[in-house]
Amino acid sequence: MGQETHLLPSNQQMKALLALPAGRPLLLQYHWRWLNSADSQQTITEARAILRRQPPHCLSVATVEALAIGEADKRWSEIWLLEFSGPAEVEAHLASELFERLCRVASDLEIVVATPPPPRMARIIRWLNRVLPWLPAPRSGDHLPAELLQGGINPTPQQLAFFQEEGPQQPIHMFNLLKFHERAQYVEGERNRSGRRAYEDGYGRVAMDCFLRLGGRIVTLGRYRFTLVGNDGQTEGNHWDEIAVIEYPGRQQFTHMISNPRYQAALEHRDAGLQRTLVWCTSPAAEYSR
């Protein structure tokens, strides 16, 4: 059986990939929907084993449990996050037997490309991941405001219910795609700042402090570049601005965070800065969680 063309980059997408700087690392986030076939699980298991012992560097292989925030047309089975040394390594991977075998057991695939933080920021992230979990956990609040459960860039009541269900305490990876307003849109009017700045300074720092002190960690952050597979083969349009993958020790820590009064006070900056988002809650394979 040949490889389906909708699981491959278009000529335009490959051209965009090969136009990126040769020596710059890249993050690729794969959204897979697997076929329900007899050999699917064996192929996927073998591919995971290969990724653990040879390049590219695998940061997460995770089963999608729920779409936690936002609305999406497609349902994914797994999300993988791989780090490549540059476009040439990506090109070789796409031409590999391993990738071809995976495509044979997939019914759909989307790959987004991002650039990881520069070395200085990466060192800061590693320091935060080590130090902040030692600080006291932020306190839990008594309730969740109704406006926090209205959908859009917030979870709906149905989406939040998934996190409130009884279940095993095991790590989750939250995969975020973020699109910012060009200018921050505060309720009381313009504050002369970009949407990105409102989100990162007013909300992101508070949220980071909360989830790290709850025992979470930043798996990765990245600047979105384009969609390599999917999007009807097109690269035009700035669909997203950032990707972020965050680990929580369990679902309960996520609900703990969003009930925290300090976190809730920062939401005006998130609402002013963030135009739209998709957030998937996933269960990572054990080797990819702390």
Domain end residue (candidates: 92, 115, 138): 115
Q: Mark whether 191 and 60 lie in a shared domain.
A: no
In the numeric block, which tokens belong to residue 106? 């997939």
Q: Mark whether 57 and 173 lie in a shared domain.
A: no
- Tens-level pLDDT at each residue, the chain (290 residues): 456 778 999 999 999 999 999 989 999 999 999 998 878 999 999 999 999 999 999 999 999 999 999 999 899 999 999 999 999 999 999 999 999 999 999 999 999 999 999 999 999 999 999 999 999 999 998 888 887 888 899 999 999 999 888 777 899 999 999 999 999 999 887 678 999 999 999 999 999 999 999 999 999 999 999 999 999 999 887 789 999 999 999 999 999 999 999 999 999 999 999 999 999 999 999 999 98
Query: DSSP characters for 1-66?
Result: -PPPGGGS--HHHHHHHHTS-TT--EEEEEEEEE---TTHHHHHHHHHHHHHHSSSEEEEEEEEEE
Contact 149, 157 (CB under 8 A): yes
Q: Mark whether 57 and 165 lie in a shared domain.
A: no
CATH number, domain containing residue 260: 3.30.70.100
Domain end residue (candidates: 53, 86, 115): 115
Amino acid, single-letter form, for residue 285: A
The whole model's pTM is what? Answer: 0.95
**Is residue 92, in this structure, part of any structural domain at all?**
yes
Contact 284, 171 (CB under 8 A): yes
**Is residue 290, in this structure, part of any structural domain at all?**
no
Cβ-proximal residues to 215 (8 Å cutoff; 6+ apart), any chain: 133, 137, 248, 249, 253
Q: Mark whether 267 and 212 lie in a shared domain.
A: yes
In the numeric block, which tokens belong to residue 163? 């996190």
Q: Mark whether 32 and 162 lie in a shared domain.
A: no
Total structural domains within the chain: 2
Q: Mark whether 127 and 239 lie in a shared domain.
A: yes
Q: Which domain holds residue 138?
A: 119-221+230-285
Neighbours of 193 (CB within 10 A): 17
**Is residue 260, in this structure, part of any structural domain at all?**
yes
Domain end residue (candidates: 115, 147, 170): 115
